[in-house]
Structure 1
Amino acid sequence: MGNIRDKILIVEDELSIVRFMSNVILSSGYNVVKAMNGADALEMVESHCPDLIILDLGLPDMDGMEFLRKLREWSSIPVIVVSARTAESDKVDALNAGADDYITKPFGTQELLARIRTSLRHARTTAANREIAAEGTYSVGELVIDYDRHIVTLAGRDVGLTLIEFRIVALLGRYAGKVLTYDFIMKELWGPRAGHDNQILRVNMSNIRKKIEKGHVGSRYFFTDHPLEFLRKENEALLDLVAETASLTEDPDARAGQAAEHLRALRDVKAHYAKIEELLLPVLDQNGRGMQAADIWDGNDRIFHTLGRLAGSTDEASWDDARRQRIRDLLKDIRKTAEREETVFRFCMDHMDEAAWLAVYRDFPELGCSFLQSLPVWPEGDARLERTKNNGMELPDAPVTLPQGTFTLKQLAAVLDLLPIDLTFIDAEDRVRFFTEKTGVFARPLSALGRPVMQCHPPRVRPVVEGMLLQFRAGEADHMEMWIPRKEDPVYVRYQAVYDEAGKYIGTLEMVQCFGSYLPHLTGQKPKQKMPEAEPDRDGEGW
């Protein structure tokens, strides 16, 4: 591929000046596009994605200041104003409106070219990356992004990027070390009307990785294992499985057993949804988006129950058109939920800070993978966790006196950790203050500590939890219990109100216990040598 040249948009209504500047700029190795008025110029910024704009202030349809203000609502493309207005106030106004430089007419060709080079050089850097401004390149390992020649090389070899692929890599290089949202990249490359359909960006990123990461396991240069990207990758893997399952419903040679196998794999969608709710729902609540989230996951129960019914049947006699259509309808619901979750991802990227994402990353091992084989490795997150690893509280050996005796805190923590039961304590202000986790029935991320308990439950469950706590607080009930009827490992859950000696409500204790190991003794069956390991039920409803 030949070198890609910088593209400069000239916005000028005097034809003679347009011709003069075009000849000068073209002869210096740049590409040129031209607009005679402000409206056309704004359209061309979106369609041609120029690297720099040369702007005359006296346009026939709008003042150059108005053009600048409209442009700066969404774009940071460098702008050099070329104008006959020589008053200091005009220069100040233009620079304040977003211009990067100001040249008064008449001007020399060498001055114009020098200012173009300077503006392009400044545009290629951020505060965090001075290498680009100083050298015209950005390098990491054997990868070099050459901003002057518009090529990307790996070990000295041009990797052969297309124009749009180079623009994407160039943008990532300018913001190296930072997390960029899909919306930000699309807006920078395609303007404010790019929309939210990021499929074209995903395709281009896939092609870029194939060219640059070819022959290597994992990513060396494009780190996409930020916690949000991991959740997106899981959604993509889920949609791939949905597509495979859908193809079976259209294949006349497909068997019922094949479909059932795919549907059983899709049951991990339950843990996937629960994980996203657990990690991201608090952010939506804090920003007044909790009810919007309720709409996104409103159909989850229907999806789970339908999956449970359809995945259990391998009867070829029932593998008819009606069953195939029920599977298609189910897959359509899963696709819709995944598409809606993308709006949650975009919102959280804009509203969660680094500390919040670090908490999400820290909790991934507890919540596990759903449709990927391994958890993400986020180098920056690992480094920050390592720095804070030893900042936790050291439990003292001093005794704690209770009515029935004494414990040290270390002893008490060790005893609680041995109990074959999960305990979660919610204080009188309905905040999660403590939990143990032995059974794995309910996922308990560390980020739940100190959080309002309502933020730890999906919107559809909150009315039940709220009603129960109100009854406990009013003394109308002191406990609530339920069973999760898993076939080989039923689960008993008890919520117990806690009162002090004066009868004042001080909190609620949740107790979760699995009874699989006790079943043979309770039913008179001969105990098995080893009970099968139960699959964790991430939101406590069972299949």
Structure 2
Amino acid sequence: MSEFINNREKRQEKLKMLIKKLHDGASVEDVKSEFDTLTTGISAVEITEMEQALVNEGMPVEEIQRLCDVHAAVFKGSIEDIHKEDSISFEGFDEGHPVHTFKKENRKIESVLEEVLNYLSEYTADPTQVKLDKLKFSLIKLSTIDFHYKRKENLLFPYMEKYNITAPPQVMWGVDDEIRADLKKAIELVSLEMKEIPKINEVTRKAVASIGEMIFKEEEIMFPMVLEKFSQSEWIEIEKASAEIGYTLLPVVKRWLPKVTNIETHSKEVVVNTVVTSTDVTNTDEDIVINRIKKDSQTLIPFDAGSLTSMEVNAILNTIPFDMTFVDANDRVKYFTQGKERVFDRPITIIGREVKHCHPPKSVHIVEKIVEDLKSGKKEHEDFWIKMGEQFVYIRYFAVRNKSGEFLGTLEITQNIKPIIELEGEKRLMSN
């Protein structure tokens, strides 16, 4: 066993050295020739451990992100050879399972990638308006990949972090954002009155190549990793939250509702996992759960002015016309409202997640600075306002303190204020 661990550690060190060579400017071919001597036993897990080790040693995530496509080019051949015999059969999953849905989307995405390249070649050879319109329509279809990436970032990444897999999600999120930006740029270029055909060709092909590499990374690296780690109840939570975010190029997605029989018992309280049929729990257990819920919803919670039941508090907070998210003093998401009008995605899976992992790598430093200033007392609030399509979004961060001044956490309030700033005159009568 010790010999196996030593060999693994040595290989890990050599792999890190190769990545550092790439970082220092070595060519892909130079590194690949060295890598060929280390192909025995290479797995997706080892690549992940290598990236995590580099981050732990202080290499910025942005540096690893910059090398991400090079990693894929170097490792792709060896991983594919191994997975020919040893890969997990994704096709064996029931329809509606999150992995099944992600893969189904990837097949649709691949067909659109092929369509984009065909229309691009036709347009660059003969730049007519009809061919340009076809290219633009295909790019717009492809831009719906945002839903695929949002589900990955907001539903899979929180559970990966739970299992201490933090570096790969950060790197992948950064690349996702680059793909989004390239697609947006490509659509802008084909919409300009003066068409820059070489630039359209360059940006579009870059986006297509990056998306293809991302599909490879998801299916050969990320999915095997998470299938090994996630429990069935976690997959159920992911599936439940998926529809709220949406899907890419799939008009209908079948619900996946497996039977869950496990019950977690904590002292005298019984907590039933997400999907449980009546045959899974005894009458006594059901009574305990139901009575506990009734009792909690009727207990009065005292406030500085008056008292409310937990049911009333929940209903009030979900009625207010803006989103609120509370991050505790340990920088973990503890609560968010669930009103009818949502500005940003807030799936239940972010509860307990470190706030820095809830944002793309390019904006993490801003979030950390905001929290640092609020904690220290340098600021009591920080405000931002941005245009998002038809919305004008006002984002405010407040330090939450008790009466003694102790910092309890950060409150984020987000609201589309466009209807407010467009108000004119006065309104003194009730609407009909």
* TM-score, L = length of structure 1: 0.52
User: Which residue identity lines up with residue 209 of structure 2 in the other structure?
Assistant: K
What does residue 28 of structure 1 align with? Answer: none
Task: Indicate the structure whose relative CO is greater, using CA pairs within 8 Å and at least 6 residues apart.
Answer: 2
Residues in 2 aligned to 1:201 and 1:344: alpha-carbon distance in whole angstroms: 12
| Residue of structure 2 in register with 1:196 after alignment | 83
Select which of 507, 517, 529 maps to 2:409: 507
Equivalent position amino acid for 2:298 in 1: D
Q: Which residue of 2 aligns with 1:378?
A: 256
Q: Tell whether 2:264 aligns with 1:363.
A: no
Query: By how many angstroms is 1:350 displaced?
Result: 0.9
* Structure 2 unaligned blocks of 5 or more: 1-78, 262-272, 279-285, 426-432
Task: Give the corresponding residue for 1:76.
Answer: none
**1:405 equivalenced with 2:303 (yes/no):** no
1:112-138 CA-partner distances (Å, limit 9, x unpaired): xxxxxxxxxxxxxxxxxxxxxxxxxxx
Is 2:369 the counterpart of 1:467?
yes
State which drifts further: 327-336 or 396-405: 396-405
Rounded Cα–Cα distance in structure 1 between residues aligned with 2:213 and 2:406: 47
Query: Which residue of the partner structure matches residue 271 of structure 1?
Result: 147
C-alpha contact (below 8 Å) 2:182/2:206 kept by paired residues: no
Structure 2 residue 110 is the aligned partner of structure 1 residue 233: no
Equivalent residue number for residue 133 of structure 2: 257
CA distance in structure 2 between the aligned counterparts of 1:498 and 1:193, rounded to whole angstroms: 51
Shift of 1:456: 2.9
User: In the alignment, residue 449 of structure 1 is paired with which amino acid?
Assistant: I
Q: How far apart, CA to CA, are the structure 2 residues paired with 1:338 and 1:236?
A: 9
Q: The residue matched to 1:235 in structure 2 has which SS? A: helix
Question: Does structure 1 residue 492 correspond to structure 2 residue 368?
Answer: no
Q: 1:434 is paired with a residue of what secondary structure? A: strand
Name the SS of the counterpart of 2:331 in structure 1. coil
Structure 2 distance, partners of 1:388, 1:416, is 31
Match of 1:421 in 2: 322
Cα distance, 1:414 vs. partner?
1.8
| Bigger share in helix | 2
For normalisation by structure 2, the TM-score amounts to: 0.65
Q: Which moved more, 1:387-396 or 1:358-367?
A: 387-396
Give, in whole Å, the separation in 2 of the partners of 1:386 and 1:286: 21
Q: Note the aligned Cα RMSD (angstroms).
A: 3.1
Change (3 A) 1:398 1:411: same
What's the counterpart of residue 60 of structure 1? Answer: none
Overall identity of the aligned pairs, in %: 25
Once the two structures are superposed, residues 14-71 of structure 1 have per-residue CA deviations (whole angstroms, 9 ceiling, x without a partner) of: xxxxxxxxxxxxxxxxxxxxxxxxxxxxxxxxxxxxxxxxxxxxxxxxxxxxxxxxxx
* Separation in structure 2 between the aligned mates of residue 314 and residue 450 of structure 1, nearest angstrom: 42
Report the residue type matching 1:328 in the other structure: R
Residue of structure 1 equivalent to 2:209: 332
Rounded to whole Å, the distance in 1 between the matches of 2:252 and 2:260 is: 16
**Mapped partners of 2:229, 2:200: distance in 1:** 43
CA contact (8 A) 1:421 1:437 kept: no
Code of the residue aligned with 1:228 in structure 2: it is V
Residue 421 of structure 1: CA displacement? Answer: 0.4
**How far 1:505 moved relative to its partner?**
0.2
User: What secondary structure sits across from 2:400 in the alignment?
Assistant: strand
Alignment partner for residue 434 of structure 1, among 332, 335, 341? 335
Q: For residues 382 and 261 of structure 1, what CA distance do their matches in structure 2 show?
A: 43
- SS of the equivalent of 1:298 reads helix
Contact 2:395 2:413 in 1 (8 A): yes
Q: Structure 1 stretches of 5 or more lacking a match?
A: 1-191, 206-220, 525-543
Match of residue 248, structure 1, among 86, 98, 119: 119
Give the distance between the partners of 1:410 and 1:455, measured in 2 at CA: 30
Aligned equivalents of 2:94 and 2:400: distance in 1? 48
In structure 2, how many angstroms separate the alpha carbons of the residues matched to 1:397 and 1:332?
Answer: 57
1:171-217 CA distance string (max 9 Å, x none): xxxxxxxxxxxxxxxxxxxxx9952369x999x97xxxxxxxxxxxx
Count of equivalent residues: 315
Give the match's secondary structure for 1:374: coil
Partner of 2:269 in structure 1?
A: none
Tell me the residue number matched to 1:480.
Answer: 382
SS at match of 1:509: strand
Residue among 283, 291, 298 paired with 2:159? 283
Match of 1:310 among 179, 186, 190: 186
Counterpart of 2:276 in 1: which secondary structure? helix
Q: Which amino acid is the alignment partner of residue 195 of structure 1?
A: I
Q: Aligned equivalents of 1:448 and 1:362: distance in 2?
A: 14
Q: How many angstroms does 1:360 deviate by? A: 0.9
Distance (whole Å) between structure 1 residues aligned to residue 234 and residue 371 of structure 2:
28
Contact 2:185/2:203, CA 8 A, preserved across alignment? no
Residue deviations 1:268-295 (CA, integer Å, cap 9, x gap): 2223212201112133334443222333
Distance 1:265 1:382 in 2: 37
Question: How much does 1:495 deviate?
Answer: 1.2
Q: Which amino acid aligns with 1:334?
A: I
Q: Deviations over 1:447-473 (max 9, x none)?
A: 222333334334443333223222222
Aligned to 2:218: 341
Could you tell me which residue of structure 1 aligns to residue 59 of structure 2? none
CA contact (8 A) 1:424 1:509 kept: yes
- Which residue matches 1:516? 418
**Structure 1 CA distance for aligned equivalents of residues 99 and 88 of structure 2:** 17
> In the alignment, what sits opposite 1:106?
none
Partners of 1:240 and 1:201 in 2: CA distance: 23
